[in-house]
Structure 1
Amino acid sequence: MRPGIQHLRRVEGLALRRSIHAKRNVHMSKIQNASVASLPPAAASPSHMVSRPSSIPQVSALDRIPTSSVLRSYLITSISSSPPLLSACFAILRRMLDSKSTLMNIDKNRLLNWLLKTTFYAQFCAGETQKEVQQNTTAAKTNLGYDGIILEFALEVLEGEGGEATADGEATERAIEIWRKGMLETVQMTSPGDFIGLKWSGLGPYALRLLKEQRDPTPSMERAILEACDAAAAKKVALLPGAEEEVTNAGIDQWTLKLQQRYNKAELGRVIMYSTYQAYLKSTPAKLGRHLALAQKDGYILGVKLVRGAYLASEPRHLIWSTKEETDKCYDALAESLLKRKYSEVVQPVHGSEAFPHIDVVLATHNHESVRKAQAIRNEQASRGEELVRLAYAQLQGMADEISCELVQAGEAQDAGNTDAPRVFKCMTWGTTTECLNYLLRRAAENRDAASRTEDTRKAMGKELWRRAKTVAGLE
């Protein structure tokens, strides 16, 4: 990568952030905020919080979110953080979606459609039409201050649906065309610098079979994939394929690394295609080491999206770390190696090579402590004037808003010469109410353990509602 390119990125990003927040007239550069991104490196842990002068009012990081959205988040996270309530809610929504009754059909019953669209749909989704999506994503950037969005098409084709999984059957070709059109529409709805989420299995049952057998996509699939990638590259939008169950991940890696080599040219200075790495798998550190070596050898920028992983209920237990603490430790160690661009005891070089490739990183996490640790590393690097890895933080829309808003608020208060201004992205789905609810239910069923980990957000939203109530009553 050319010298100074990371500095230019930082300057460009800061200029955009200042422009956005100048329009909103909510710049907080004088606020002494104790959030993770504004802490000096030595004080980045919760036990070393910065004291605030009593003359400066404390501004809640969640203050930028409308009260109606805070209340909706509190109610929905109260459901999702309670396993009995979550299971009951799943059952009710599934019955609605499967019902043949006009009264229970959410596409025909306007009242039911409105109820769902103003609750679950509004919490997690971006819109049904291009106009709705652009309105909501623009609001996420200008009103809430996010740097961008990760947009994902809701409609997908799964194993056992739409006919027999054959290489040249009508069902396979139909699934490919649905995926192709959906991806191209999604590219149209995004802006330069945004991300697009995708699932390779959305290409249909035969694609899922190919992934499990570690075989290349069919010619029709490859044409659709390259068309989507070319469109994203032309618009300077990056693609984030999701990891799935381990039985398919080797095939997914095979597809994505070929595309990384094709699109992530070092001379272009940015990543178009990423790969996703799940920290709860014991094999991930070694796999990441191999992929880093390949990127260094072949001269491309490795795109790394780091997640904890969510298929706890379906993965063989011997593949996964025994405890959450081990997964957390692995995640933080992987993030540290990536941000410092240094091999470690966890991420070891292949064949003894110490050369570390250029990388772009997305830390997709709802874990507050992991964000704090990562941003402490970034602040220390910035204070020393080091060149920084291109980094984005990502959280799902409607989840972990307390983390996202804290990062945004802290970024507004930063002097970019001394500390890092974090880039924050929200992941949201677009499609009809029925498509999105089907999508959300499938993801929640796959990630049931992760879906219930919303207790921190519930508490944060409850605290924010209480703060606002006291303000209205004149008690604060």
Structure 2
Amino acid sequence: MATATSRRGIAGLPIQKAAFTAYRTNVVPQSCRSKTAVLKQDQRRGHNTQVTAHNGLASEPTPVTAHNGLTPEPESAPLSPASNVRRSIHSSRHRASAGCADFTDGPTEHPRAPLSLLPLTMILRSLATASVSSSPALLAPSLRIMNAIAHSSNPILNPDRNRLLHFALKKTLYDQFCAGENAVEVNRTIDGIKGLGFTGVMLCYAREVGLSGEQARGKVSDETPELIQNEIAPWAEGTLETVRLAQPGDFVSMKFTGAGRLALHQLSNRLPCSPYLGDSIDAICKLASERGVRVAIDAEQDALQDGIDDWILRFARKYNRNPANPTVFGTYQAYKKCAPQLILNHLADAKKNGYTLGVKMVRGAYLNSDPRERFHDTVEDTHACFDGMTASLLTRSWNSTVPGEGDFPDVSMIIASHNTESVRRARAICEAGKAKSPVAFAQLQGMADEVSCELVEAGLQRQKTSGPVKTSPRAATSTLPTFKYLVWGSTGECMKYLSRRAQENKEAVGRTRTSRDAMWAELIRRCKAAFGIAA
């Protein structure tokens, strides 16, 4: 292993640069070997090996040759039945890791099971997580334990100080939902996710401004040096580092209230952002635009949302001028009754000011804290609103949900949903060639993998049957770009983040029976395949 070096990380955090010999086992269950070794082994086993392109789409099968140009050694004796069983259970569609080429089996007569692309370790962890979150008897105490670990002042419960607790959490919850604790781990995770067939990631910095009880209760209205040093600057530096870690084409998730009390005061009173905070947001958007990274700004509580929307439009007018590469995306919550009118207002602003509207469509996460009258009366109304808005924006045409007139402005969108039916409806529009807006699909890392993998597999199958696709962002979407949302930071920082998100999304976390059942079914399918039993 190469000697580790370090540079000063954001907000004083050291970021280690070290060479790892293997990608984390949550993505790749085997060590990273040289391309020659992998090719030779697959050739000996009689595989029709093909190389997967960097964008996750399979290329044409190519002859297998060693680095020296010679044909690999002849096929050796077949594997024993026991070895075949072990390999079948553990195998995933792509054997991928950072620094290694990705390999898939040759073409088959039938499409693969979508979840077959995930390693066994991922299947087992997802099954365990979904089993807990889908059980009311287990979910409540689990959330209490998470909250205790996240906010305890006891060093024994601090995973950043207790090595045993750190190891236990790192191999379970952390590896399930998070990208890494430093730049090396984050980059390996991103490469590994892309190696599995995903288009990229939506990366979020886990660290949030920590305030004492007295500070949290204190009201601020002025931008003071103390606020800048202790709250705004650490948030800005962490977000800038996240943009640097993201790869071109990826997304970075940003939460305005992470900047502290002054941002909270300004947003709740619908005030313009203060000079230093405004310059910080501008620097984040500028760096993202230069690196080809897109910034998705989170929706928050209803009392803050009007202020958040004002800030989003301010920076979208500046950084979304190029229809091919809009940088700033706002979040639209379909469970709100006002969502269709809000999108109409923002479409009108985009048309008037000549920029592309970046839209991230979600259902919403503040059902337990925001006023009930703000939401649709029934879940069916929420579904109809989400699907209607998605169809209108995706096809760039007015409909009964988004009624308008005249030309439809330029839109680029993210469909961030775990709802299988909504995702399939949007996918059908894309596959029918009716989509006129660039679109990406996104789900949380470690959750709704059955939805994500179905998109990845459908995109790969469509690519095989359709051949090369148009690269113009204004052309109809013929592939299905799929992203995974995940956070990075120390184990302790990520536990705080995960605890907060779990509390905010308590209702959604409880609706994971579908994922649990899908993981069980995939595990059973692999066992049957290992023993040659027809599914």
What's the TM-score bracket when you normalise by the shorter of the two chains? Answer: 0.7 to 0.9
Distance in 1 between the 2:214 and 2:232 partners? Answer: 12
Distance in 1 between the 2:208 and 2:345 partners? Answer: 31
Distance in 2 between the 1:277 and 1:159 partners? Answer: 29
Question: Residue 110 of structure 1 aligns to which amino acid in structure 2?
Answer: R
- 2:334, 2:361 within 8 Å by CA — same for their partners in 1? yes
- 1:187, 1:232 within 8 Å by CA — same for their partners in 2? yes
Partner of 2:116: 63
- 2:177, 2:487 within 8 Å by CA — same for their partners in 1? yes
Quick check: 1:99 aligned with 2:152? yes
Distance in 1 between the 2:481 and 2:466 partners? Answer: 12
- 1:170-209 alignment runs, 5 A limit: 170-173=225-228, 174-209=230-265
Task: For residue 162 of structure 1, report the CA deviation from its aligned partner.
Answer: 7.9
- 1:21, 1:145 within 8 Å by CA — same for their partners in 2? no
Q: 1:364 aligns with which of 390, 405, 416?
A: 416
SS in structure 2 of the partner of residue 362 of structure 1 = strand
How far does the alpha carbon of each residue in 1:374-424 deviate from its partner, in whole angstroms, 9 at most, with x for none?
A: 111112126xxxx73100000000011111111111111113469821000
Distance in 1 between the 2:483 and 2:361 partners? Answer: 14
Partner of 2:452: 404
Task: For residue 83 of structure 1, report the CA deviation from its aligned partner.
Answer: 2.5
Q: 1:225 to 1:119 in 2, by over 3 A?
A: same
The higher radius of gyration belongs to 2
SS in structure 1 of the partner of residue 249 of structure 2 = coil
Distance in 1 between the 2:103 and 2:115 partners? Answer: 16
SS in structure 2 of the partner of residue 329 of structure 1 = helix
Q: 2:430 aligns with which of 360, 378, 388?
A: 378
Task: For residue 193 of structure 1, report the CA deviation from its aligned partner.
Answer: 0.4
Partner of 1:338: 393
Question: Residue 443 of structure 1 aligns to which amino acid in structure 2?
Answer: R
Q: 1:80 aligns with which of 127, 130, 133?
A: 133
Partner of 2:314: 258
Question: Residue 195 of structure 1 aligns to which amino acid in structure 2?
Answer: F
**TM-score normalised to the size of structure 2?**
0.77
Distance in 2 between the 1:440 and 1:471 partners? Answer: 36
Q: 1:388 to 1:169 in 2, by over 3 A?
A: same
Mind listing any 5+ residue stretches in structure 1 that lack a counterpart?
1-13, 32-55
Task: For residue 282 of structure 1, report the CA deviation from its aligned partner.
Answer: 0.3
Paired-residue identity, %: 38
Q: 1:74 to 1:138 in 2, by over 3 A?
A: same
- 1:46-445 alignment runs, 5 A limit: 56-142=109-195, 144-157=196-209, 163=215, 164-166=218-220, 167-173=222-228, 174-266=230-322, 269-349=324-404, 353-381=405-433, 388-414=436-462, 415-416=465-466, 420-445=478-503
SS in structure 2 of the partner of residue 196 of structure 1 = strand
Of residues 102-111 and 445-454 in structure 1, the stretch that sits farther from structure 2 once superposed is 102-111
Task: For residue 139 of structure 1, report the CA deviation from its aligned partner.
Answer: 0.2
Distance in 1 between the 2:249 and 2:202 partners? Answer: 10
- 1:157, 1:201 within 8 Å by CA — same for their partners in 2? no
Partner of 2:55: 16
SS in structure 2 of the partner of residue 425 of structure 1 = strand
Task: For residue 19 of structure 1, report the CA deviation from its aligned partner.
Answer: 6.3
Q: 1:207 to 1:381 in 2, by over 3 A?
A: same
- 2:111, 2:461 within 8 Å by CA — same for their partners in 1? no
How far does the alpha carbon of each residue in 1:454-475 deviate from its partner, in whole angstroms, 9 at most, with x for none?
A: 2111111111111122223332
Distance in 1 between the 2:211 and 2:403 partners? Answer: 37
Question: Residue 420 of structure 1 aligns to which amino acid in structure 2?
Answer: S
- 2:330, 2:358 within 8 Å by CA — same for their partners in 1? yes
Higher relative contact order (CA 8 A, sep 6+): 1
SS in structure 1 of the partner of residue 359 of structure 2 = strand
Of residues 216-225 and 87-96 in structure 1, the stretch that sits farther from structure 2 once superposed is 87-96
The count of corresponding residues between Structure 1 and Structure 2 is: 429
Distance in 1 between the 2:54 and 2:127 partners? Answer: 34
Task: For residue 97 of structure 1, report the CA deviation from its aligned partner.
Answer: 3.1
Question: Residue 456 of structure 2 aligns to which amino acid in structure 1?
Answer: V
Question: Residue 380 of structure 1 aligns to which amino acid in structure 2?
Answer: A
SS in structure 2 of the partner of residue 381 of structure 1 = coil
Mind listing any 5+ residue stretches in structure 2 that lack a counterpart?
1-52, 62-100, 470-476
Distance in 1 between the 2:199 and 2:351 partners? Answer: 29
Q: 1:102 to 1:260 in 2, by over 3 A?
A: closer
Question: Residue 287 of structure 2 aligns to which amino acid in structure 1?
Answer: A
Distance in 1 between the 2:349 and 2:152 partners? Answer: 50
SS in structure 1 of the partner of residue 328 of structure 2 = coil
Question: Residue 118 of structure 1 aligns to which amino acid in structure 2?
Answer: K
